[in-house]
């Protein structure tokens, strides 16, 4: 009978449930006590022996540290590090979470490099709560020789056609006679810093450098140092970190063709510039000027786009129009870049009445000239008596 079955079995089920509840609560309380005591008392020491060394790569520094002394006791936890770095004067730190003990990161060597590391502990030993140690700090500064005014000025680089980098500078304000400047560079993949081998000179002083074959350095940090020596004076080196794709300047667009349709729309088409510039990285600006000869005309921007063709409806029925196009690296490939020079094409549009005039002029000319010839022949025939040779009356 179902009724009897319920009456008999209910107490045994209840007993089991109660026992299970008791065990659970004891376990919970125990766990709570254990975990609260462990999470409130587990601390971890910061890493040890934080060191910064300069491998001579003009900007990259090696940062190393050792694990905290008591790290083996946390067998049920993972030990990680929060590593932060910046140049003195920067507002924000760059942050790296890692389990590694060594990093190579880039700095501006003309300013002090600052780094800090802390230990992070998380897992069963901390009841899955992240425990952080105190920070340890270190700084580094290359010996900055010479006065600040002896540093080269107006340092400027352009990456032409993604083929060669041209950097130029001017001697420092405190440049002594017989100064000799040198440009050194390094990017990831080169074993050591390399000196420029193609200097631009002015009166035997190096004032620029052309670097070829840098495709391996694209989309990486390129570290550059321009230092100098003079007989008795120490000069301040200049440190710069560049990204080539942000300094690209393409050649002007090629093969600009402008044509006009029957509906008087302008069709403008051009080809990407030559060189190694990736065509998919380019955007173009198109400008139009009408009646350029007249002083009132001005260039007006028509479009900025990635396509290499455009249709422009002509607002003004002017006779002479000019279209010009230039290119630069688009935001899909770079943060910024330089515009190319313009490619320009001018053309004249003949009006309808002009066309009619052009057809009429030859007709009128030929008609009038043949009329004159007939009249002249008539005149000559009247004057010269019959039979006499015509050449006697050359005068008419
Ligand atoms: C360009 O650089 C690569 C290494 O990045 C080198 O193997 C190659 O010989 C260089 N080519 C020229 C023409 O210098
Ligand atoms: C310029 O820097 C390079 C690369 O660090 C170094 O080898 C060279 O001795 C320096 N020259 C001077 C004059 O400081
Ligand atoms: C067309 O003509 C108007 C009035 O003369 C002028 O303001 C405008 O700039 C011209 N447009 C172009 C593209 O030259």
Mean pLDDT by 10 residues, the chain (396 residues): 42 57 53 46 89 95 94 84 96 96 94 96 89 96 89 96 96 86 96 96 94 94 93 89 95 92 84 91 91 70 91 72 92 92 84 52 68 70 50 42
Kindly state whether residue 235 falls inside one of the protein's structural domains: yes
Kindly state whether residue 43 falls inside one of the protein's structural domains: no
Residue 317's pLDDT is: 64
Test site for ligand 1: of 192, 197, 213, most ligand atoms within 8 A of the Cβ? 213
Query: Which run of H or E residues covers position 363?
Result: helix 352-383
Question: Ligand 2: distance of its center to the CA of 144 in Å?
Answer: 12
Query: Among residues 247, 267, 243, which one has the least CA distance to residue 257?
Result: 267
Cβ atoms of 87 and 112 closer than 8 Å:
yes
Last residue of a domain, one of 248, 268, 283: 248
Kindly state whether residue 384 falls inside one of the protein's structural domains: yes
Radius of gyration of the chain (CA): 42
Establish whether residue 300 lines the binding site of ligand 3, counting it when its CB lies within 6 angstroms of any ligand atom. yes
The tally of domains found in the chain comes to 4
Last residue of a domain, one of 225, 248, 271: 248
Kindly state whether residue 99 falls inside one of the protein's structural domains: yes
Residue 395's pLDDT is: 40
Do 162 and 172 belong to one domain? yes
Structure tokens at 52: 């910064």
Do 122 and 173 belong to one domain? no
Structure tokens at 236: 């301040």
Kindly state whether residue 11 falls inside one of the protein's structural domains: no
Residue 382's pLDDT is: 61
Last residue of a domain, one of 248, 267, 284: 248
For residue 285, the cross-strand partners are: 304, 326
Kindly state whether residue 17 falls inside one of the protein's structural domains: no
Do 102 and 70 belong to one domain? yes
Residue 316's pLDDT is: 62
Between CA 268 and CA 125 the distance in angstroms is 70
Residue 100's pLDDT is: 96
Distance between first and last Cα of the chain: 151
Kindly state whether residue 20 falls inside one of the protein's structural domains: no
pTM, full prediction: 0.73
Residue-wise over 190-222: b if at least 16 C-beta within 10 A, else e?
eeebeebeeeeeeeebbbbbebeebeebbebbb
CATH number at residue 154: 2.60.40.10
Establish whether residue 23 lines the binding site of ligand 1, counting it when its CB lies within 6 angstroms of any ligand atom. no
Is 362 exposed, middle or buried (CB count within 10 Å of its CB: 0-12, 13-18, 19+)? exposed
Atom of ligand 2 nearest to the CA of 229: 13
Do 235 and 308 belong to one domain? no
Do 242 and 311 belong to one domain? no
Question: Ligand 1: distance of its center to the CA of 109 in Å?
Answer: 28
Kindly state whether residue 37 falls inside one of the protein's structural domains: no
Establish whether residue 215 lines the binding site of ligand 1, counting it when its CB lies within 6 angstroms of any ligand atom. no
C-alpha pair distances (Å), 365 with each of 115, 354, 368: 90, 16, 5
Domain that residue 298 falls in: 250-349
Atom of ligand 3 nearest to the CA of 297: 14
Residue 158's pLDDT is: 97
Atom of ligand 1 nearest to the CA of 216: 5
Question: Ligand 2: distance of its center to the CA of 227 in Å?
Answer: 6
Residue 10's pLDDT is: 45
Do 152 and 193 belong to one domain? yes
Between CA 326 and CA 341 the distance in angstroms is 6
Residue 34's pLDDT is: 44
């Amino acid at each position: 009978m179902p009724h009897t079955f319920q009456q008999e079995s209910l107490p045994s089920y209840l007993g089991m449930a109660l026992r299970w509840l008791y065990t659970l609560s004891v376990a919970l309380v125990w766990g709570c006590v254990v975990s609260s005591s462990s999470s409130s008392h587990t601390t971890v020491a910061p890493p040890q022996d934080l060191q910064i060394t300069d491998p001579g790569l003009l900007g990259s520094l090696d940062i190393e540290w050792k694990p905290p002394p008591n790290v083996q006791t946390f067998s049920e936890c993972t030990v990680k590090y929060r590593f932060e770095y910046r140049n003195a004067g920067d507002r924000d730190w760059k942050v790296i979470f890692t389990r590694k003990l060594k990093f190579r990161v880039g700095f501006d060597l003309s300013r002090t490099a600052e780094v800090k590391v802390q230990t992070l502990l998380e897992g069963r030993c901390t009841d899955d709560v992240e425990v952080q140690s105190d920070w340890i700090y270190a700084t580094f500064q290359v010996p900055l020789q010479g006065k600040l005014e002896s540093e080269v000025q107006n340092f400027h680089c352009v990456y032409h056609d993604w083929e060669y980098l041209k950097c130029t500078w001017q001697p420092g304000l405190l440049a002594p006679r017989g100064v000799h400047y040198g440009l050194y560079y390094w990017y990831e993949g080169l074993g050591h810093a390399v000196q420029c081998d193609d200097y631009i000179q002015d009166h035997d002083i190096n004032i620029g450098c052309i670097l070829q074959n840098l495709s391996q350095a694209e989309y990486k940090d390129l570290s550059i140092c321009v230092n100098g020596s003079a007989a008795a004076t120490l000069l301040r080196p200049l440190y710069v970190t560049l990204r080539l794709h942000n300094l690209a300047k393409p050649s002007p667009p090629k093969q600009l063709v402008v044509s006009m349709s029957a509906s008087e729309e302008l069709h403008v088409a051009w080809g990407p510039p030559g060189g190694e510039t990736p065509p998919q990285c380019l955007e173009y600006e198109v400008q139009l000027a009408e009646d350029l000869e007249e002083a009132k005309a001005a260039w007006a921007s028509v479009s900025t786009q990635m396509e290499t063709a455009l249709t422009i409806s002509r607002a003004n029925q002017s006779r002479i129009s000019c279209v010009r196009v230039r290119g630069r690296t688009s935001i899909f490939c770079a943060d910024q870049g330089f515009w190319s020079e313009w490619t320009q094409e001018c053309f004249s549009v003949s009006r309808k009445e002009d066309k009619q005039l052009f057809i009429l002029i030859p007709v009128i000319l030929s008609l009038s000239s043949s009329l004159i010839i007939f009249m002249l022949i008539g005149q000559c025939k009247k004057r010269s008596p019959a039979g006499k040779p015509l050449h006697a009356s050359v005068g008419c």
